[in-house]
Structure 1
Amino acid sequence: MTLSGGRAVESGGLHGTLYATAGPQAGGGQRPAYVLLHGIGVSHRYLSRLHRELARDADVYSFDLPGFGGTPRPPRQLQAADYAAFVLGAMAAERPGTFVVVGHSMGSQFAVEAALQAPDRVTAVVLMGPVVDAARRSVPRQAAALTRDAMFSESPGANSIVFTDYFRAGPRWYLTELPVMMAYAMEDRLAGVAQPVLVLRGARDPVARLPWCRRLAAAARNGAVAEVAGQGHVFQHTAAGVAAAAISSWVRAPDGFGVTA
C-alpha cells in the first residue's frame, strides 16, 4: 500500500523519499503535524494506513529513509543520529514549525534522536513497538521474536508488505544497519528526552514486550505506555484507526492518558 505523491529529498548528502499530506487549518494557520519513521528493512508502505488516518486532522509526513524503500544506498553505515539528522534537515526545508515524531521498531530509535537533536521542533515522541529489548539483546532472539510475530500475530497483507520491502532493501544494507539497531542504548538515550513520550505496542507483540515498554516509559521524564488489543508488532497497519486514535488522544492530553487502547 503506497502513498501517492512521493518525491525525492536530500539532506546532508543523503537521499530519501518524502510523502506529505498537508492542508489548511480551519480558521487559518497550520494544522498539527506528525512525522512517521519506519524501521529497519522496510519503507513508508506499512505506515501508509496510519498516515491516512492521522491526516484526517493533521499534516502528516512519511519517509522512505536512505537505503530503504528503493532509495539510494548511503556510502557508509549510518547511526540512528544520522537518520534523525536527515529527517530534521528534510523537514526544515519542507515545513516550518513543530511536529510530533512517531517511530516504529528501529524507527523509534530515530525518533528519540530527533527529539534530542531538535527539542525546539519536536513537541512529543511516540515509540511504536520499540526495539531492542535489553533482556533479549541478541540477533537470534530478535529473529525468533520477529518470526513468531509474522507467523501468529500478523495478517498476510502485513507480512507481504514487510517481506517485499526486506527484499527491496537487500541483505547487504540490512546487515549493515542491523548492528546499529542492536547496539543502540534506548533507555540511556530516552532518559535525556524532555518531551512527553508515549510507548505504544500491540498486545500480542513478542518483539516489544510489555515489561520492556514499561521500562522505557519509566526511563522517560514524562512517559506513558499503552497497548492496542489483539495486535502484533505491525499494529499501525493492521489496526490503523485504533492506533491513530490512541496517538491523537494522547497528543491532545498526554497527562491524562490511560494505559490501554
Structure 2
Amino acid sequence: MSQTREFRRGEDVVVIHDSGRPDGPEYVLVHGLGMAHDYWSELASVLEQTGRVHALDLPGFGDAPEPAAPLSMPAAGELLAELLVAEGIDRAVLVGHSTGAQVVTETAARHPELVDRVVLIAPTVNPRERTLAKQTMRFLQDIALVHPKALWYGVSLYAKAGPRWYAANLLPMLEHRIELVLPAVTAPTLVIRGEHDRIVPRDWAEEVARLVPDGRYAEVPGRGHETMIRAGRRVGELVARHAQGLPAGRPASLVDPPPTDRPLGVAAALGVMARDYAYAGVRQFAWLGARHEPHAWRRGEPDKPQVVLLPGVYEHWSFMRPLGDALNAEGHRVVVVHGMRANRRPIAETAARVAKALARSAPPPAGRVIVAHSKGGLIGKHVLLDDEGESLGVRGVVAICTPFAGARRARLFGDPSIRALLPGDATIVRLEDAASVNARIVSVFGTFDPHVPDGSALEGAMNVQVAVAGHFRVLAAPETAEAVLAGIARLTDDAHGATGSAPSSSTR
C-alpha cells in the first residue's frame, strides 16, 4: 500500500511516495526536469515485487512546494544524501532519469557509503551539446517521436510545474559537468538508454558507462527519452536485476564503438536480396520426401545438449537441414517438432505445441538448446518464459535472424501470420518487455538482413554478428554454424558452471 510523507530541509521540501515490500533492495527514484513521481508508475510496479520503492517529488515539482530558488546539482545531491540518512534508507539503489541522473551521480560520488548501486536512465547533459539552443532542438526532435501516452504525461507534469519554474531549473542542469563527477562513482552503475533518444545520443550514453569505474550499458529498442514510461516493465526488470547483482546490459568494456562500415548501396542490397531469395527458393523444395529427420540426427554425444530446431514462418524443418547436419556432425543429437507445417500459427500457440512435444520425453542429462530461425526465435523465447520451472530442460535459445523488436516491413504483407510480427503486435510487445530471460538467449545475425532491417540484437543477450549478408543464406554459412556451436557451449557452460552466471552480451 502506497504511503506519502515529506522530508524538509529549510524551505526545500521533498515529497516521498513509498510502496512495495519491506525486505529487498531500497529503490530511490529521482525524476527528471519538469517531471514527478507519477511517471515511474509502471517501472515502480515491477520494483515493488523485489523491494521497497521510494519515488520522490523534488522541490517545486509534483506534490512538492516551490522554494525561492532552484538547487544546483551538487546541492540537490546533498539534499538527497540528507534524505537517505534522515529516512534510514540504508545502502540505497539510486535510480535517476535525465536530470535526475545528474542528482543521483552527485549523491553517489559524494557519499558512497550511502549507496549500494546506481542506475542512470537517459543521463544528461551531453557535453558536446551543452547549450540551451542545442538542448531545445534535441527536445523538439524527441517530442516529434514521442508516443501519445508519454506526451500526455509530459505535458500535464510540465504544466503543473509551470514554465517559470521549469525555466529556472534549466541553468543548473546546463552548468553541471556530470562527466567530471562520474569517475568518482564507486558503486556498480547501469546506464540505460532508449534506442531513439535524441536528447541522449548513443555515443554519450556509452561514454557515461565507461566513465564510471564499474559501469554497464543497456539499450531499449524502439524507445526514446521517455523509455521508462513506454517500456516501464522492461526497464524495471533491468533495474531489478542490477539491484540484485545479476547481469544487466553489457560491461562497459564490451560496449560497441560506433559502426564504421558503410551501408550497402541500392544495387548491392538488391544483389544480396536476389541471392537470398534464390537460396530460399531452393531450400523450400527440401521438404519433398523429408517426412522424417535423418537417422544420424538421433545419435549424439551424451555430454552435449540435445538441439531442437525451430524454423521460421513458411519454413518446414527441412529448411534448416544444412545447419542441423553441421550441429550433428559436432556430436549433438538433433530433433524437430513435427506438426508445425508452415509455421503460420500464432507464436504463443506454437510455443505451447513445442512445449507439449518436448514434455513427451525426459530431457537428456546435458539438457536441450533450441536453435531457431526468424519467427522460430520468438517461439523459443516464449517457451523460456512459459517454462518457469525449467521442467523441459531447455538451457537457452540460439536465435538466428530473429526480429525480437518486431519487423516493420511485415506491414507490406497481407498474410496475418506475417503481420503478427509487426512491432506493435501484443505478443511482440510482451516478448520485448520480458527481458528476464534474455541472458539465456544467443542472437546470431548477419551484416545485412532485408527482412529485419532494424537488426536482431537483443539487450541482455549474447549478440554475435557473422560476416554473411541475408536472412536465409545465413543458415548455411560455416560462420553461422561456428557461432551457433559457440552459443550452445556458452549456454550449457553457464547453466552448469560453478557460478551459475548468465552470459554477458557482446557483439563480434
TM-score where L is the length of structure 2: 0.48
What is the match of residue 8 of structure 1? 6
Structure 1: runs of 5+ lacking an equivalent: 26-30
Q: Is 1:126 equivalent to 2:112 in the alignment?
A: no
Q: Which amino acid letter does the alignment assign opposite residue 238 of structure 1?
A: R
Q: Is 1:33 equivalent to 2:46 in the alignment?
A: no
What is the match of residue 21 of structure 1? 19
**How far apart, in 1, do the equivalents of 2:101 and 2:206 lie?**
15
1:84-163 equivalences in 2 (<5 Å): 84-152=77-145, 154-163=146-155
Q: Is the 8 A contact 2:20 2:47 kept in 1?
A: no
Q: Which amino acid letter does the alignment assign opposite residue 212 of structure 2?
A: A
Cα deviation code 1:75-130 (max 9, x no counterpart)? 22311122222222223232342111000000000000110222111111111001
What is the match of residue 206 of structure 2? 214
Q: Is the 8 A contact 2:21 2:49 kept in 1?
A: no
* CA separation of 1:256 and 1:159: change in aligned 2, threshold 3 A: closer
Q: Is the 8 A contact 1:70 1:169 kept in 2?
A: no
Q: Is the 8 A contact 2:25 2:243 kept in 1?
A: no
Q: Is the 8 A contact 1:129 1:201 kept in 2?
A: yes
One of 229, 235, 242 as aligned partner of 1:250:
242
Q: Is the 8 A contact 1:38 1:103 kept in 2?
A: yes
Q: Is the 8 A contact 2:195 2:223 kept in 1?
A: yes
**How far apart, in 2, do the equivalents of 1:65 and 1:256 lie?**
28
What is the match of residue 180 of structure 1? 172
Q: Which amino acid letter does the alignment assign opposite residue 211 of structure 1?
A: D
Q: Is 1:47 equivalent to 2:40 in the alignment?
A: yes
**How far apart, in 2, do the equivalents of 1:223 and 1:108 lie?**
14
| Deviation, structure 1 residue 250 | 2.5
Structure 2: runs of 5+ lacking an equivalent: 256-458, 461-508
Q: Is the 8 A contact 1:196 1:254 kept in 2?
A: no
Name whichever of 168-177 and 211-220 sits farther off: 168-177
> Partner of 1:212: helix, strand, or coil?
helix
| Deviation, structure 1 residue 16 | 2.1
Cα deviation code 1:125-180 (max 9, x no counterpart)? 1110011111211112211222222221x221211111111111112211111011
What is the match of residue 158 of structure 2? 166
TM-score where L is the length of structure 1: 0.90
Q: Is the 8 A contact 1:133 1:208 kept in 2?
A: yes
Larger RCO (alpha carbons 8 Å, 6+ apart): 1
Q: Is the 8 A contact 1:104 1:127 kept in 2?
A: yes
Q: Which amino acid letter does the alignment assign opposite residue 213 of structure 1?
A: A
Q: Which amino acid letter does the alignment assign opposite residue 244 of structure 2?
A: R
Of the two, which has the highest radius of gyration? 2
Q: Percent identity of the aligned residues?
A: 31
Name whichever of 68-77 and 162-171 sits farther off: 68-77
Q: Which amino acid letter does the alignment assign opposite residue 103 of structure 1?
A: G
